[in-house]
Every structure is written in C-alpha cells, then in structure tokens.
Amino acid sequence: MPTRRLRMRQLREILRLKHEVGLAHREIAAACGVGSSTVSLYLERAAAAGLGWPVPADLDDGALEARLFTRAFRVPGAMLRSAPDAAALHQELSKRGVTLQLLWQEYRAAHPQGYSYSQFCEHYRRWVRRLKPSMRQVHRAGEKVFVDFAGHKAQVVSPDTGEVTAVEIFVGVLGASGLLYAEATRGQDLGSWVAAHERMLEAYQGCPAIWVPDNLRSAVTSPHRYEPTINRTYSELAQHYGAVVIPARIRRPQDKALAELGVLLAERWVLAALRHHTFFSLADLNAAIRERVQAINDRPMKRVGVSRQQLYDRLDRPALRPLPTTPFELAEWKLCRVAPDYHVEVDHNLYSVPYTLLHEQLEARLTTTTVEVFFQSRRVASHARLTGRGRPSTQVEHMPRAHREHADWTPERIVGWASQSGPATARVVAEIMARRAHPEQGFRACLGLMRLGRHHGADRLEAACARADRLQAYSYKTVETILRNGQDRVPVPDVPDATRVLPFHANVRGAAYYGRKGGA
C-alpha cells in the first residue's frame, strides 16, 4: 500500500493529468502506475469534495487526505456511507474475543450500504496510526498490568532532625483502560516491591492475569531475552493471586510502553506538581500522590474521548480476577550448602537437615517465624526461625544413628542404666557427672563404662565400681584399670578414716612441729 506522501503525490498528478492535460482514465493510470479503478475513485472523491485543478495551496498532504479520505464519501447514485467510530472500535477490541471481523459484521448489520471489510479495517488502522505508540497496542480487558519504578524520586523530611530521605515511586498501569496507580516506597527492595503490588491490587479491586515488570532485581534474578529467571518470592506472590509474571524483554521498550507512559505521567503530573510541597512522613506523601493520581484517572483522554476511570469501570473492572481471601506470607529464598555437621547456615544461624544430604546445595525459604529447607523442590526440613547469631537448631531425626543414640542420653537416663548394674555403679556415674561443670561433659566417660559392662559383665563392673567408690576415685580410667588388672576380684581393703587421730610415737612429729619449723 503506498505511503501517505506517495498517495497524495499520485492524487495531485491524477488531478493535473485529468483537468490540465485532459487524458483518459486508462492513460492516466498508465502514467501514474495505478489501476484505472483507483483513478476513478480519486477523481470521484475529489469531485465530491469540490476539488479540481490546481489544488489550493493551503492544502498540505495531511489536510488533503483528511478532506478526501477521513469522512463519509457519497458515490454518485449511492447512499451516503456512515463511517465507523474508530475510538469505539478500539475500546471494543479490548474485550475478550472481540475481533475486527465481528465488529465489521455488526457495523454492516446497522449500515447495509457501509464500507467493505477492507475499507473498514483501513479506516480503523488510519485512526490508530495517529495514536501514541503506547495506545496502539490492543490489550484485552483484565489481562495485563505494567509495573515499574519511576526514574525520579520524591523526598521525605524528618520532622525531628531535618534529614532528607529520598524515596522511590512505584507505578502500575492497567493494560486495557490505562488506569494509573502510584505510591512512594522506602526503596526498591523485595519487601517494598511485594507490598506495593499488594496495595496496588487492593486499589484495583482485582488482579490482572499477567504482570509485566521491567528487569529490576526484585522481579527478575537473571534477565534473559528468552528464558528470564523470575525472583522466587515474586513468583510466589503472583501464584498466590492466580497470575503469571512475564517480564519485558531486554532493550525492548515497546514491551512496556504503558509502564513508560505511566512513569511519564507520574513524573510530570504528580512529582512535578508536588515539587513545592514538603512532606514529613511517607503517609502524607502517599495521600498527596493518591489525590493527584485520581485527578489523572478522572481526566478525559483526548484521542479516546473518555477518562481512564470510565474505561476501567467499563473494561477492566468486570474482567479482573477476584482477590484471594488469605493474605500473602512474605518469604525470602536463599541458596545454602550442607556442611559436614549436616547443618545449613541461614541468616547467621544453623539448621539441621538429613545427614544424607551432606555437601548438597539446598534452598531455604525464610518467613518471619519459620525456616524451610528444600532439595529438588521437596521440603526436607522445617525449623522455627532463630534470632541472634550462631545458634543451632538440631532435630534428632536428621542425625546419623550413632549421633542419635548419643543425643538420646540424659543424666537421668544414664543413672537409671547404671542402677541396673548396681548401686556402686550408679554412685560412680553420678559422681563423674557431678564433678563436671556440665553433666554432658561426663557423658562420654559414662558411655565408656557401659561398654566395659558389655565386655566384662555387669557383676564385674559393679565390683570394680565398688572398689573405685571405696577409693573415691571416680573416673573411667580407674574402673578400666581395676578390671584390666583383675582387682575387682580382690577383696576391698579397709581404708583408714582420714579424720582418725594418729597414735603417739617418737618418730611422728605432728603438724605442730612442721608449723614451728616453718616459722623459725
């Protein structure tokens, strides 16, 4: 199809050859390189518009085209054709399942003498070409929302210190209606990104099926033209609302044209309009932003003739998905590797996983109360989240068998086992743990006594412990030595009482003697 400039040049040449040179239609067609029917059509339209030759000098190509081709044309002997309402067609095309073919059939049903399908489509396409690039795309009602952060920031001033803090401006735009949403957030971090989405969807009173973000870190962890990696938390948020995330392609601004338009509106008609105002809290700033955004949404758009709010009520609102009844639980995902002690370090604390996963790379999901660990999308551990740093959370079922058996022992259980061999064994075990700063420090020695009992028998162990108790030598090595040397079979000698008074003898000097000697 010829361009506008070429077509207008052909039209002027056809009029000149007809009225000035006086050529026949067939000759004019051969000279201009068009068909005879095109020559006839152009001349008929020029005649209907009252144009001859020369064409008035004030008619440029745009004005000439508008005079001949953008209004109803009456063919001689035919009824006046009613031109379709292109703005109404553009709105109808946003509705699910509506096509130009269907709209043309409805148009012909109302106007039997109206345009053919090809001219109907051409009429609509000429109108669309005059729109801004962001409005040319036909977005289905309730299908997409475009989200991004503005390039410019707002400011909040601390009322106490006067410190100025720059804050981000989050912007969302619905595809079909162009309804604008904007709010100020503390930053572009994941928590702010998620919270802004939740408030945006509450303001929209529903959820679009597709979210189209830019490739910022909170949305896309690994940008790629064909297979981008969506941030795990952001993907969970979309799943919670029954939506899907399809980020804009890298260096393809046409994929997010509405987001760019929304950012432009926010910067020009919100931030610029509030530039002389001082805000002392984020809440005050957002209240002013909401007021400005509502004014933008209520303002009629020049090309379409209706406001964004009216389009939203007519198109997007009925098609949006209902919001979920349960709130979204924010969770952060982190990669971690299993250490040799079958624990993973998450947020400076240690959490156990099955020991069979040693050295594997796992994924940890952190909420405010829990830490869940996943291996190949399967949850393998769940812990209450710890505070502080360096604290361990160990579950017995994650331990190897030997470690589990050791962990099952408590001071009461060890003393109870020792009592089965005899009272002397129980006293030795109790003394071993009592002489430690922490009873657990004596577990290893007590478990060693258990092995001695299995090797030598309970009776010999009881006898050896009775001898050690008599000697007040409470240690594993003492009992082991007694059993190795067979001293458990030897009667225990009477040990003199340390408090008994020694008999008098000339060679026994006593404590007083050593006291005097030391003082001399």
Provide the residue ranges of all domains of the chain, joining segments of one domain with +: 4-132, 144-319, 332-404
Q: Is the pLDDT of residue 138 over 70?
A: no
Q: What's the pLDDT band for 35 if we cut at 50, 70, 90? A: confident
- Reported as a single tens digit per residue, the pLDDT across 70-101 is 654 444 444 456 778 877 787 777 666 678 88
Listed range (71-80, 137-146, 239-248, 367-376) with the worst mean pLDDT: 71-80
Q: Identify the helix (H) or strand (E) that includes residue 190.
A: helix 190-204
What is this structure's pTM?
Answer: 0.55
Q: Which residues of 116-147 are buried (b: 16+ CB within 10 A; e: fewer)?
A: eeebbbebbeebbeebeebbeeebbbbbbbbb
- Reported as a single tens digit per residue, the pLDDT across 335-380 is 999 988 889 999 999 999 999 998 899 999 999 899 999 998 899 9
Please state, in angstroms and rounded to a whole number, the distance separating the CA atoms of residues 193 and 170: 8
Q: Which superfamily does 144-319 belong to? A: Ribonuclease H-like superfamily/Ribonuclease H (3.30.420.10)
- CB contact set of 277 (below 8 Å; sequence gap of 6+): 288
Please state, in angstroms and rounded to a whole number, the distance separating the CA atoms of residues 149 and 214: 9
pLDDT at residue number 268: 87
Please state, in angstroms and rounded to a whole number, the distance separating the CA atoms of residues 452 and 127: 97
Extract the tokens encoding 266. Answer: 């926010």
Q: What's the pLDDT band for 255 if we cut at 50, 70, 90? A: low
pLDDT at residue number 384: 94
Please state, in angstroms and rounded to a whole number, the distance separating the CA atoms of residues 40 and 61: 20
CB atoms near residue 482 (< 10 Å):
24
pLDDT at residue number 43: 85
Q: What's the pLDDT band for 460 if we cut at 50, 70, 90? A: very high
Q: Is the pLDDT of residue 505 over 70?
A: no
The sign of the dihedral angle between the CA atoms of 420, 421, 423, 428 is negative
pLDDT at residue number 340: 84
Reduced to 3 states (helix: H, G, I; strand: E, B; else coil), residue 285 is helix
Residue type, 287: A
